[in-house]
Amino acid sequence: RHFLDRWGPDLLNAAYSFKPQSTVGNVTNFGLRRIYNDLRHLGRVRPAAQVHDSLLNEHEWGSVDELAEQILRVDRHLTSVCHYHGDDFILRREWKIGQAWGEGGMTELAWSTPDELVEALKRWLDS
């Protein structure tokens, strides 16, 4: 990529942020492709929107365990090992869950184990 704008802070910021920003977009797009290729195994999950560094999926589910399985499978598809100057790392993913998109009712969803995810989903449903 060549940065040909006028020399100054805006040009330097664009150049500095290009690699990390494009990596986030690429990881998201690669994950979306893996989700799309796995839709027959994901149950009733429908990708609904992709905006640079985020995905919106619609999930239909019959039980909390089924929803947790769907979320864990989607999360695995969004996990890509990145390599930079000999170091390997995985970009952190943030999850939000809600009944309707864009209505302010989204709740942060965090877990370390599948059991913690099930418990977080139960708390969300009880709220």
- State pLDDT tens for residues 56-67: 899 999 999 999
Q: Coil, strand, or helix at residue 22? A: helix
Token match 């990596």: residue?
23
Angle made by CA atoms 54, 113, 23, in degrees to the nearest 5 = 30
Instruction: Provide the pLDDT for residue 103.
Output: 67
Q: Which of 108, 101, 102 is nearest to 127 (CA)?
A: 108
Tell me the pLDDT of the chain averaged across its residues: 89
The yes-or-no verdict on residue 121 having pLDDT over 90 is yes
**pLDDT tens-digit readout, 10-33:** 888 888 787 777 888 889 999 999
Tokens of 78: 């969004």
H runs (alpha helix) in 8-113: 9-37, 64-77
The yes-or-no verdict on residue 2 having pLDDT over 90 is no
Tokens of 125: 């449903």
